Amino acid sequence: MAIRIITDSSADFDSAVAKRRNIDVVPMSIQFGDASFLAGRTLSNEVFYKLLQEKKENPTTSQPTPEAFLRLFQEAREAGDQVVAVVLSGALSGTLQSAVIAKELCQYEPIYLVDSRSASAGIQILVNYACKLRRSGLGAADIAGELERLKERVEAVGLFGQVLEYDEKRGDFFPELAKYNQDKGNIVSNMLSRIKYTKKLAKLNAPYVPVDFREYGDIYVFCDSDPVGYYLNWKRIPYHALEDGLNSLVHIDAARYDNRGHFGLKVFFSRKLNLIFIQNGYGKYCIDMEVNDIASIPYPCPQYKEVPRQQLADRLTAEDKDLILRAFIRDKEELERQIENSGQVGDKILILTEPLCSLEVREKIFRDLIDTYGREGTIFLKPHPRDGLDYRKLFGEYPQFDPTVPMEMLNFFPGLRFKKVISVLTEIKAIQFADEAVRLGPDFLDKYEDPARHRQNEQIR
């Protein structure tokens, strides 16, 4: 019995991504005048944007019909599969009602409907999470329940006074911004385009911001390269930024890599004039950016503020750790059972997977690692939360931890111990549950893909 994950085209999934992740997408209907199309089926994104520019009238959309859902539900019933359908917010559209009608017509019990209470990127987050839960071995009912409980669980532990969903939109969501991303052939024209893009992206995101940031004293942003960074600088709201992952700037300085060529000039336009935006401490209204280790960063920014992660972790009490685990781990008891069972094995090797290269190449990388390190002990796998490869299917003979569990939280379990932990690019200096931690690094990855794809810092001049 398989689990089918279904969503509608308002989730804006690329067709290739949906196919790769085994997601069925029910298309909405789009009308340009007298012409009618099915999103993603008879109308590609490229054609849609072309029509948007050519046609004088704006397009209209209509929700998927119950019949569109019914066809997929009947296929699942005939195959004996379970279904999790995550659809556009019931407050925004009748899409959910169409799915409800289709389920009633299908008369098949294991169909679980989830109101995303969101749109676009918000739906994508839930659908991607559903895919991770499917890979971890959960049934459809548990997946649907977990999607509903995620927000409530984080609120219930009391770590946060309120948890809000922020459906921010990247630049490619707005077709009117595409023209500003075209190379004009000279620095002056490109900078003028970027100035316009910066302001317009921030302004277009304004309707999606769920709070008035001015009502808060301190604002901390994890990864201000996202549209929220553009928005805060456009609104002239000071904030603190946080390093995107342990020692991430040591290996990839995205601000400098993305702004190669005339970097000093671009920083002046961002930091001094607020005409464009550069992330990671170079925005005018970024007060500072907390990083783990300034001395290890090849190109430090004056706004960096060293806050060692280990010192923060050492301050956590047993109660603090329990609160964090209950907030961010969906089944603490099951994880504890896995850890207890692992203790019955002798030498253990943990391999951390990562969303590297293509799926085909990625499979080869981790098969090679298993062949190499399997001689030293029993192999365990910890899939990365964003890794789309189906390790349960491809490597089912090896014990695997829940992909949704953050790696660092395994430090909170004193009974967990490995002889060796292996990663390719993931920083693992903070791991405390292994006798030896091995980061293979870019030299290893050079054998599998073009080095330019993972040696970004070396391309900064």
**What is the pLDDT at residue 306?**
96
Q: How far apart are CA 122 and CA 129, in angstroms?
A: 11
pLDDT at position 121 over 70: no
Q: Which of 156-160, 234-238, 355-359 has the largest mean confidence? A: 234-238
Q: How far apart are CA 350 and CA 365, in angstroms?
A: 15
Span 162-201, pLDDT tens digits: 777 677 788 888 999 999 999 999 999 999 999 999 999 9
Backbone angles phi, psi at 155, to 5 degrees: -70, -35
| pTM (predicted TM-score) | 0.68
Higher pLDDT, 31 or 21: 21
pLDDT at position 157 over 70: no
**What is the pLDDT at residue 170?**
84
| Architecture of the domain delimited by 329-451 | 3-Layer(aba) Sandwich (3.40)
pLDDT band (50, 70, 90) for residue 373: very high
Q: Which of 11, 40, 9, 3 is nearest to 127 (CA)?
A: 11
CA dihedral for 105, 108, 109, 110, sign (positive or negative): negative
**What is the pLDDT at residue 414?**
84
State mean pLDDT over 32-40: 65
Contact 228, 201 (CB under 8 A): no
Query: Maximum Cα–Cα distance for the chain, whole Å?
Result: 70
The amino acid at residue 295 is A
Q: How far apart are CA 232 and CA 205, in angstroms?
A: 11
pLDDT at position 53 over 70: no
Q: How far apart are CA 275 and CA 277, in angstroms?
A: 7
Q: Which of 394, 354, 349 is nearest to 372 (CA)?
A: 349
Q: Which of 292, 319, 287 is nearest to 306 (CA)?
A: 292
The number of angstroms, rounded, from the C-alpha of 103 to the middle of its chain's C-alpha atoms is: 30
Q: How far apart are CA 408 and CA 411, in angstroms?
A: 6
The amino acid at residue 334 is E
Tokens at residue 167, please?
């459906």
- What's the CATH number for 3-28+63-153? 3.40.50.10170
Q: What does DSSP say about strands 239-242 and 220-222: parallel, antiparallel, or unpaired?
A: parallel
Work out the mean pLDDT of the chain and round it to a whole number. 87
Lowest mean pLDDT among 68-82, 251-265, 267-281, 314-328: 314-328
Start-end of CATH 3.40.50.10170 domains in the chain? 3-28+63-153
Q: Which of 19, 17, 59 is nearest to 37 (CA)?
A: 59
HSE, side-chain direction, 13 A CA sphere, residue 288: 8
The DSSP string of 25-83 is EEPPEEEETTEEEEBTTTB-HHHHHHHHHH-SSPPEEEPPPHHHHHHHHHHHHHHT-EE
**What is the pLDDT at residue 191?**
96
Start-end of CATH 3.40.50.11110 domains in the chain? 329-451
pLDDT at position 59 over 80: no
Tokens at residue 286, please?
């970024």
Lowest mean pLDDT among 40-44, 137-141, 213-217, 446-450: 40-44
Which residues lie closer than 8 Å to 395 by C-beta, 6 or more apart? 366, 370, 381
Backbone angles phi, psi at 399, to 5 degrees: -60, 140
